[in-house]
Every structure is written in structure tokens, then in C-alpha cells.
């Protein structure tokens, strides 16, 4: 077996450093836990950043992938495969939008598809602009980057594609200020993940819907991080009572097997015609099998409801730390999409948690983000809360009695 040091040296020599060199080499996962190359076990509350809603290597997903890998991995979309339409029908039905799906490989690509769809839809009327929210995140391809309302991701990549404008989340007046006859779509996350776990309010979403209907503009949701049950709804927008015209999905859709999608309403279902958009690997039999198995597990184990229940239990525990520890300012949550806001950068605290056996990642600088699997057990929530308590006690220099530890 290679040592972790050997693996790190090879990584640093040959992998383009788009990520700061990771501290761990992870080699195995099961449910809520992952193991590193040295055999140490961690509770994983990162889950590939919201990709593991049913936990690592769920037996039903693993079986579906193994079975399909031995049968048919990929054929061109010039041919049909047995799962493509089944998955599309399932997503349309879960969404309640009544339209159709297009499949790709990632969140950024799904948002690209939404953007292209809006431009094509609006092309006859000269509508091409997209309004997205400040503090949002929509991916790293050039158009998704342009839609991302945070300049730190755009710096150095100028010229940024034209036709993107930004408004403040939960401020309808700021949307109206940039809306014009050129606006094709408004893009919003029901819960901003990279923005620091910030919810779009139902009032804002209702206001956007009305505005879009009045001005003949499309309303889009990015469900890449908050979708697939994590917020206590199949899709985050369902918690706001407002339906978009279309939305993007990826991350947990295939339990870590790459697959992205857009789901539309009937109005947008046939805007893309043959030759207008495509993806070689979109909806391969293998990706569809992974996604169908994932959806099956979420349904069978009633994980949408479990996200609400488990989220409430976890938040109740975290809330006590807001009272007990001065550096903990606030808990933000929707289902199992949870942020603990510190009065300082969260990176060092996340490092301490990692050393103590709990993986969590910072977002928006000072927010500790927790994205555990939706089928997490109560005992695992309690174990994680104990680790967080210990790490906070360390941070605050609190002496613990031996029997408390
Ligand atoms: C809300 C949101 N949209 C889009 C993306 C981009 O997804 P991907 O990395 O699969 O391209 C992300 C990734 O973090 C995301 O959180």
C-alpha cells in the first residue's frame, strides 16, 4: 500500500492545483462515514458537498451501478436507452412542473443548459439577459461563472460573457431595477449554499413569480446543491410554494456518479429542438441507473421527511452552542442544509473538527457548513454534536471536567 505521504507527493507533482492540497486521502465510505488511507474513520458531513444524500455506497445504488456497468455503460444519445425516459418522467413527476428533462454531467453544465434555453426562448423578442442574485454560485464554466454573483470567482477570467445582471436576494426592488425588455430569465437558489446557507423567502419567490408572469420573463431555480430532498422537500423551491419555469439539478442526483439535469414546465419542454443542444455523456444508461436507484432509496426510506426531522434535531443541538459560546453567532438551516455562523473565518474550526473526526467545510468565509446524509441516525447526530461541542470548548479555552468528555 502506498503511504499517504507518497500519494500526496504524486498529487502535488501531477495534479493542477485548482484545490488547495487536501489534507486527507480518503479511500473508503459507508453511510455517514469515510476512512482515510491510514485507517482513521471520520463522520462525513461534507458528503462530496451535498452529493451523498443517501450516504456513501448505499447498497441499492452500488448494486444498480454494478449491474448496469456489466450490462451497458454508454451509448450515444443518437439511440435511446431503457432508463433515459424513465428518469425524465420521474423527475418531471416529482417536480410537478409538467414538462420535460435534458441531461448532462454536472451542475455548471445544467445551468449552461438553462441559460442557453432562456436565450433561445427569448431570441425572437431580443430577450437574452439573465438576472441572478449577488452572493450566488452557479458553477465554473464561463456562462455559469457569469451568472455567479460573486466577483471573486470571476477575477482574472475577463472578459466575462455579456448579458448577466445581478440583484439582491430577497429584495424585489433590486430585481426590478435591473429588469428590462431584454431580460429572458431570473435565476435564483432556493437556499444559497456557497453564499452561506441563505434562504430565498417565500415572499420574494412569490414576488419574482408575479414579476416574471407580468413581464414575460422565465423564472429559474438552481437546485444543484439544495435539491434531491436535502431541504425537507424534493426540491428547495417547493418549500417556498412557488414553481419556477425550469430548474437545474446535479450533485446528489446520481449519489456521486456524475449526472446533471434540467427539468422544465410544459412551456419550455420543446424549445430545444434537434441540433440546438447536446451532451455525449448526458443520460448514459449507467448515470440514469445510479439516479433511479438514488431516487428509489430517497422514496423507500422516506428521506425527504427525514431531512426535516433530522435537521430539526441537529439544529436544536447547535442552537445551544449559540447560547453557550460567544464565538457562535447564529445557526442557519433548511432541513439538512445547515450553517453555524462564527464571528471569525470558519476554516481553522473546520480543521479542528477534521482532526476530531468530523468532516465539515466552510462557506461564505465564516460559516461552518454541515451536509450530512439524509438517512443519518439520531445517534450519529448526537456524536457529531459532541464533537462540535468539544471543538467549541477548545476554541473558547473552556476547561472540561474529565467525566464530561
Ligand atoms: C448551487 C450550485 N450550482 C452549481 C454548482 C456547480 O456544480 P458543478 O460543480 O457540478 O459544476 C454548484 C457547486 O457547488 C452549486 O452549489
Q: Which residue has the cell 419567490?
A: 205
Task: Check if 222 has its Cβ closer than 6 Å to any atom of ligand 1.
Answer: yes
Res 1: pLDDT: 81
Res 403: pLDDT: 52
For residue range 90-104, list pLDDT tens digits in order. Answer: 999 999 999 999 999
For residue 222, the SS3 value is strand
**What's the average model confidence in pLDDT over 234-260?**
98
Nearest-atom number in ligand 1 for the CA of 193 is 16
* Residue of 251, 255, 260, 262 to mutate, ligand 1, most atoms within 8 A of C-beta: 251
For residue 332, the SS3 value is strand
**What's the gap in Å between 139 CA and the centre of ligand 1?**
5
Res 21: pLDDT: 85
**What's the gap in Å between 377 CA and the centre of ligand 1?**
27
At residue 356 the predicted structure's pLDDT band, cuts being 50, 70 and 90, is: very high
- DSSP 8-class letter at 373: -
**Length of the chain as a residue count:** 405
| CA–CA gap between residue 28 and residue 291 (Å, rounded) | 21
For residue 129, the SS3 value is strand
Whole-prediction pTM value? 0.97
Nearest-atom number in ligand 1 for the CA of 251 is 10
* Residue of 47, 222, 250, 334 to mutate, ligand 1, most atoms within 8 A of C-beta: 250
At residue 70 the predicted structure's pLDDT band, cuts being 50, 70 and 90, is: very high
Q: Measure the CA angle with vertex 336, ends 330 and 340; round to 5°.
A: 20
Task: Check if 103 has its Cβ closer than 6 Å to any atom of ligand 1.
Answer: no
Res 65: pLDDT: 98
| CA–CA gap between residue 404 and residue 387 (Å, rounded) | 12
Task: Check if 105 has its Cβ closer than 6 Å to any atom of ligand 1.
Answer: no
Give the ranges where 129-220 is alpha helix by DSSP (H): 142-147, 151-154, 172-178, 202-215
**What's the gap in Å between 249 CA and the centre of ligand 1?**
9
How many C-beta atoms lie closer than 10 Å to residue 266's C-beta?
12
CB-based contact 286:74 (threshold 8 Å):
yes
For residue range 260-298, list pLDDT tens digits in order. Answer: 999 999 999 999 999 999 999 999 999 999 999 999 999
For 340, the grid coordinates are 453555524
Res 313: pLDDT: 98
Mean of all residue pLDDT scores within the chain: 97
Amino acid at each position: 500500500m502506498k503511504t499517504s505521504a507518497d500519494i500526496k507527493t504524486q498529487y502535488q507533482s501531477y495534479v493542477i492545483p485548482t484545490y488547495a492540497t487536501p489534507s486527507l486521502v480518503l479511500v473508503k465510505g459507508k453511510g455517514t462515514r469515510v476512512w482515510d488511507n491510514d485507517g482513521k474513520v471520520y463522520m462525513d458531513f461534507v458528503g462530496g458537498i451535498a452529493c451523498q444524500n443517501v450516504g456513501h455506497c448505499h447498497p441499492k445504488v452500488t448494486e444498480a451501478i454494478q449491474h448496469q456497468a456489466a450490462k451497458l455503460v454508454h451509448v450515444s444519445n443518437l439511440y435511446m436507452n431503457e432508463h433515459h425516459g424513465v428518469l425524465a418522467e420521474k423527475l418531471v413527476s416529482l417536480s410537478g412542473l409538467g414538462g420535460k428533462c435534458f441531461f448532462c454531467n454536472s451542475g455548471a453544465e445544467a445551468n449552461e443548459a438553462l441559460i442557453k434555453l432562456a436565450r433561445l426562448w427569448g431570441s425572437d423578442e431580443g430577450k437574452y439577459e439573465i438576472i441572478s442574485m449577488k452572493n450566488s454560485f452557479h458553477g465554473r464554466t464561463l456562462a455559469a461563472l457569469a451568472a455567479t454573483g460573486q466577483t471573486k470567482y470571476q477575477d482574472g477570467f475577463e472578459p466575462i460573457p455579456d448579458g448577466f445582471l445581478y440583484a439582491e436576494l430577497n429584495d424585489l426592488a433590486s430585481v426590478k431595477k435591473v429588469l428590462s425588455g431584454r431580460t429572458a430569465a431570473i435565476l435564483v437558489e432556493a437556499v444559497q449554499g456557497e453564499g452561506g446557507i441563505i434562504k430565498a423567502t417565500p415572499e420574494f419567490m412569490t414576488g419574482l413569480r408575479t414579476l416574471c408572469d407580468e413581464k414575460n420573463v422565465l423564472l429559474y431555480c438552481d437546485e444543484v446543491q439544495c435539491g434531491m430532498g436535502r431541504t425537507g422537500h424534493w426540491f428547495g423551491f417547493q418549500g417556498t410554494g412557488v414553481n419556477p419555469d425550469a430548474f437545474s439539478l446535479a450533485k446528489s442526483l446520481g449519489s456521486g456518479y456524475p449526472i446533471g439535469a434540467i427539468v422544465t414546465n410544459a412551456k419550455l419542454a420543446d424549445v430545444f429542438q434537434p441540433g440546438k443542444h447536446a451532451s455525449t455523456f448526458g443520460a448514459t444508461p449507467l448515470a440514469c441507473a445510479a439516479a433511479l436507484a438514488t431516487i428509489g432509496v430517497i422514496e423507500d426510506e422516506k428521506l425527504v421527511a427525514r431531512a426535516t426531522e433530522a435537521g430539526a434535531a441537529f439544529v436544536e443541538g447547535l442552537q445551544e452552542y449559540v447560547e453557550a459560546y460567544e464565538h457562535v453567532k447564529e445557526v442557519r438551516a433548511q432541513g439538512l442544509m445547515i450553517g453555524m455562523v462564527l464571528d471569525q473565518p470558519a476554516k481553522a474550526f473546520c480543521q479542528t473538527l477534521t482532526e476530531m473526526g468530523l468532516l465539515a467545510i466552510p462557506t461564505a468565509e465564516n460559516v461552518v457548513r454541515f451536509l450530512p446524509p439524509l438517512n443519518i441516525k439520531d445517534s450519529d447526530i448526537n456524536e457529531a454534536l459532541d464533537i462540535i461541542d468539544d471543538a467549541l470548548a477548545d476554541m473558547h479555552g473552556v476547561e472540561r471536567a474529565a467525566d464530561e468528555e
